[in-house]
Every structure is written in structure tokens, then in C-alpha cells.
């Protein structure tokens, strides 16, 4: 029996574990992949208060080591369901764990383009993680699809290894930071392909090119690339909890800044909940708020 089971070992989940352990509660963190969440693949973090510069891996490792040093237990198990009651039973593929409160901190995963053959070509030219797979395309032409900070960071990272980087975005301006946009403009091997969407992925056993259509002119062309890095946003992974907490139309857990789900003893934190801003700072803050709310609930 644990006081609190936290589902997800990203920034929100590990922050929650730190606060819950400091409050004297027993804590079990369940994660289906590895600790850190998506931030572990970010090469450089420059916007976390108090830390001038750090890699995503080092940041996530620091959180993990802090949480475990305080006594939080972390297990790699995929949660498949939760049985509600005064005592909750969190069911995983390996077994089950009982607790008094649950914090859902499942984060979000990369959103696919939804094109034909996308799944087939994933790992054969199509990727969702530039820092994971970029080295495989050293000296080759690649494309990045997206307009936010992730896409900008991916393009900048790839420009250091690849011959040419096309940055494809459906609008004429980027949503990401102007500072990152200017960095890319200063790169001779980066080319912006704006007002454009990818319509097809081409190649037999591996990606050879992407078909692109200009949404304003209707012009279509093929870009010869060996790699495509998709960075068009995220989507939550909350299907297993649909009958336990209320989800919005996009699958995010409905909860405000208090991190309360509306279900007794169930709390949420981080990118998996409805919120306007999804950053490291807000994930960490959510973890603290959810943990203290869970501690107060337990008493």
C-alpha cells in the first residue's frame, strides 16, 4: 500500500514525487518507457528559471535522482486501468498497486501527420525526434515539418549535421520564438518552405522525397529528402482513464490550476491536462500543486 501512485515520470510526475516525499508520504511512480518524458530528448534548455543552460537529459536525470534520493520508488510498468474507491487499485501489465490517491501525469506524445505510409516509413526516414535520429542523416538532405519551438529547435540541431534542411510550415509565420527563427535565418543550409503542407511521403523501402503543396497558390512540388522530422504538436495519452476522469474533446484531462479532476482522490499534472501554456515551469508547478493537494486529501 502506497499513499500516492503517480502515473508518469516526466517533469510533472517527478516534481510531484519530490513534493509528496518531502511531505512524508510514500510514493510509487509508474512509467511505461523511461524517466524524463519528452524533455529528455531536448539538447539544450535555456528558459528554466535559475538554470542558465542545461541539456534535457541532465535536467531529467537531476529530477529523477532527487526524487529517488528522497525515497520515491520508480517502476517501469504500463498502466492499463484504475479501479476507483477509497483505496485505488492501479492495474498495470505486470500486476497492480494499491494506494490512497493517484496523480495522473502522463504527458503527451507526438502528433503524426496522418498521411498514407507514415507508420510504414517510421524508422525508415520518418522520425519524431531529431536529437534521437538526426545523426543517422549526417551529410544528407532532410525536412522538418512544424512551426513551433520544437520544429525550430529540430531544424537548428539538424543544420549542424545535414547538408540541407527544409523547414516546412503551413503558415507564413512561425509560432516559435523570434530568437530561434533568426538563428535559422542565419544558417546557409536552412530553407523555409512556408504556406505549405506535406501531401505525400514517397519512396519504396525508405523515404526518398516528400510532396509539398502551397496552400495559397496550389503549387505542388517534391523535395528530395532522406529524412522527415515531424514536429506538429502533441496529443495526450489518456484513453485508459476516460471512464475515471472527464476528458475534453481533444483527450486532455479537464482540470484547472488546482489540478483537481473532479474525481475524489484523483489529481492531474502537466501536459496531459487542459491548460494554455505547456512548458517545463508549468509542468513542475503542476507537480507541486497536485502533490500537495493529494497530501491534503490523504491527511
Domains and CATH numbers, the chain: 2-110+234-298 (3.50.50.60), 118-230 (3.50.50.60)
pLDDT in tens, 147-170: 999 899 999 999 999 999 999 999
Confidence at residue 110, expressed as pLDDT on a 0 to 100 scale? 84
Confidence at residue 277, expressed as pLDDT on a 0 to 100 scale? 86
The 3-state DSSP class for residue 234 equals strand
The pTM is what?
Answer: 0.76
Which residue of the set 58, 84, 99, 132 is catalytic? 132
pLDDT in tens, 226-248: 999 999 988 898 999 999 999 99
List C-alpha distances in Å: 155 to 46, 110, 145, 192, 222.
Answer: 17, 16, 9, 10, 19
- Give the CB-side neighbour count of residue 45, counting CA atoms within 13 A: 20
- The mean pLDDT of 263-289, rounded to a whole number, is 95
List C-alpha distances in Å: 143 to 128, 149, 196.
Answer: 12, 15, 12
User: Is 154 noted as a catalytic residue in this protein?
Assistant: no
User: Is 272 noted as a catalytic residue in this protein?
Assistant: no
- Residue for cell digits 514525487? 17
Burial class (CB in 10 A: 0-12, 13-18, 19+), 1: exposed
Which residue of the set 3, 86, 99, 133 is catalytic? 133
Kind plus residue range of the DSSP H or E element containing 80: strand 79-83
Closest CA to 272 of 252, 255, 256, 258: 252
Predicted confidence band at 42 (pLDDT cuts at 50, 70, 90)?
Answer: confident
User: Is 208 noted as a catalytic residue in this protein?
Assistant: no
Amino acid at each position: 500500500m502506497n499513499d500516492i501512485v503517480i502515473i508518469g515520470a516526466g517533469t510533472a510526475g517527478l516534481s510531484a514525487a519530490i513534493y509528496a516525499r518531502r511531505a512524508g508520504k510514500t510514493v510509487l511512480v509508474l512509467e511505461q518507457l523511461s524517466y524524463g518524458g519528452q524533455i529528455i530528448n531536448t539538447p539544450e534548455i535555456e528558459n528554466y528559471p535559475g538554470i542558465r543552460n542545461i541539456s534535457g537529459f541532465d535536467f531529467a536525470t537531476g529530477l529523477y535522482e532527487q526524487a529517488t534520493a528522497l525515497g520515491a520508488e520508480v517502476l517501469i510498468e504500463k498502466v492499463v486501468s484504475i479501479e476507483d474507491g477509497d483505496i485505488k487499485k492501479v492495474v498495470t501489465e505486470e500486476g497492480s498497486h494499491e494506494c490512497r490517491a493517484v496523480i495522473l501525469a502522463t504527458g503527451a506524445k507526438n502528433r503524426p501527420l496522418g498521411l498514407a505510409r507514415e507508420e510504414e516509413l517510421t524508422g525508415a526516414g520518418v522520425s519524431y525526434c531529431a536529437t534521437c535520429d538526426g545523426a543517422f542523416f549526417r551529410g544528407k538532405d532532410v525536412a522538418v515539418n512544424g512551426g513551433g519551438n520544437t520544429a525550430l529547435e529540430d531544424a537548428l540541431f539538424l543544420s549542424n549535421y545535414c547538408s540541407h534542411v527544409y523547414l516546412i510550415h503551413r503558415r507564413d509565420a512561425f509560432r516559435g520564438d523570434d530568437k530561434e527563427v533568426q538563428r535559422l535565418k542565419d544558417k546557409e543550409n536552412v530553407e523555409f518552405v512556408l504556406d505549405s503542407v506535406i501531401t505525400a511521403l514517397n519512396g519504396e523501402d525508405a523515404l526518398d522525397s516528400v510532396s509539398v503543396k502551397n496552400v495559397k497558390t496550389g503549387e505542388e512540388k517534391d523535395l528530395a529528402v532522406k529524412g522527415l522530422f515531424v514536429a506538429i504538436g502533441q496529443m495526450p495519452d489518456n484513453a485508459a482513464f476516460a471512464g475515471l476522469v472527464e476528458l475534453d474533446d481533444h483527450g486532455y484531462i479537464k482540470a484547472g490550476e488546482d489540478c483537481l479532476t473532479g474525481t475524489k482522490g484523483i489529481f492531474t499534472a502537466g501536459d496531459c491536462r487542459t491548460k494554455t501554456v505547456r512548458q517545463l515551469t508549468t509542468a513542475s508547478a503542476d507537480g507541486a500543486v497536485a502533490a500537495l493537494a493529494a497530501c491534503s486529501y490523504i491527511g
